[in-house]
Amino acid sequence: MEDLSIKKPVITIRNLYKRFGDNAVLNGFDMDLFEGENLVIMGKSGSGKSVMIKCLIGLEEHDSGTINVMGKDIDDLEAEELDELRTEIGFLFQGSALYDSMSVRENLEFPLRRHTKKFGVIKDAEPLVMEALESVGLAKAIDLMPDELSGGMKRRIALARTLILKPSIILYDEPTTGLDPITSKEIVQLMQKVQQQYKTSSIIITHDVDCARAIANRMILLIDGKNYAEGSFDTLRKNHDPKIQAFFK
C-alpha cells in the first residue's frame, strides 16, 4: 500500500451519524479519501454505504459529524456554494439515473449548460459532448434515447455525463450491480481508464469482489454503520477474522 501520510485528503469524514426513525444507519463512520486514490467501501445491503455517499454530496442530511470536501465543510455551505462544489464531484448512480425524456446528447448537455460559472456560456456543446462520449466509447449513441440503450451502455453514458463536468472526485454507487460479468469487467476497465485520464479520486461502493480487486488502492469494510476494517485488498483478504472473510466469499 502507498504511504498515504504524504498525500492530501480531498474528503474527510469524521464521526458521521445518520438514522431513519429507529434505524441507525451510520454509527460514527470515519473516512479519508486521498488525492488520486481509488477507495472501495464494502458492506452488506443496508449497512449505510449508499446513505454515506448521499450525505457526502448533500442529498441526505446527516444527524451529526463532519464532512469536509476539498477543504470545505459542507454544513457551512449555502445552496449556491454546494452546487458549485458539486461540479467537482461526479456521482454515478446505481441505476444510471439518465433522464428518460431526453436523448443522450441532451442528457450530457444538461449539466453543462447549468454550470456557466465553471465553463462560461457554452454556445456549441457538441465538442465537449463528443469528447465525453468518446472517452466511454459510445460516440455513436449520441442521438439515442435512454430506453434504446442496454444496461452497460446506460452505465457508460451516465459516466460520460459525470465526466463532462470534469470532476476531480467521482463517487460510484455499485457501478457493476445488475450487469453480466463481461460488461462488469468492461465497466471496471473504463473506471480505471477514467482515473488515469482525468486523474480523479474515487469512492467506489460495491459488493463485487472482482471489481474491488481490480480497482481498489484501499478498502474500508463497513459493518453496522461504522468502519470495521481498513487496508489494501490483499491485506484484508488474508485476514482471518470471519466477519472480514465473509466479504470475500
Partner 1 sequence: MKSILIEIGELSYFAGRFFREVGKRPFEYKEFLRQCYNMGNRSLLLVGITGFIIGLVFTLQSRPTLQEFGAVSWMPSMVGISIIREIGPIITALICAGRIGSGIGAELGSMRVTEQIDAMEVSGTNPFKYLVVTRILATTLMLPILVVLSDAIALYGSYLVENLKGDVSFQLYFNEVFGSLEFGDIIPSTVKSFFFGFAIGVVGCFKGYTCGKGTEGVGRAANAAVVYTSMVLFILDFLAVLVSDIFYDL
Rounded to a whole number of angstroms, the minimum distance from the CB of residue 107 to partner 1 is 9
Nearer to partner 1, 86 or 226 (CB): 86
Alpha-carbon distance values, 113 to 87, 89, 126, 141, 205 (Å): 12, 17, 12, 20, 29
- Rounded CA separation 153/128 (Å): 19
Contact between 165 and partner 1 by CB under 8 A: the answer reads: yes
Whose Cβ is closer to partner 1: residue 87's or residue 192's? 87
Residues 228, 220: Cα–Cα separation, whole Å: 7
What does residue 10 show for φ and ψ, rounded to 5 degrees?
A: -100, -25
**For residues 145 and 214, which CB has a smaller minimum distance to partner 1 in the complex?**
145
- Here the cell at position 36 is 488520486
Q: According to the binding rule CB under 8 A, does residue 153 interact with partner 1? A: no
Residue ranges in 8-47 that form contacts with partner 1 under rule CB under 8 A: none
Contact between 103 and partner 1 per CB under 8 A:
no
> DSSP string covering 87-127, please?
TTEEEE-TT----TTS-HHHHHHHHHHH-HHHH---S--HH
Q: Does 57 bind partner 1 (CB under 8 A)?
A: yes
Binding of partner 1 at residue 119 (CB under 8 A)? Answer: no
Binding interface with partner 1 (CB under 8 A): 54, 57, 59, 79, 83-84, 86-87, 89, 91, 93-95, 97-101, 110-111, 114-115, 161, 165
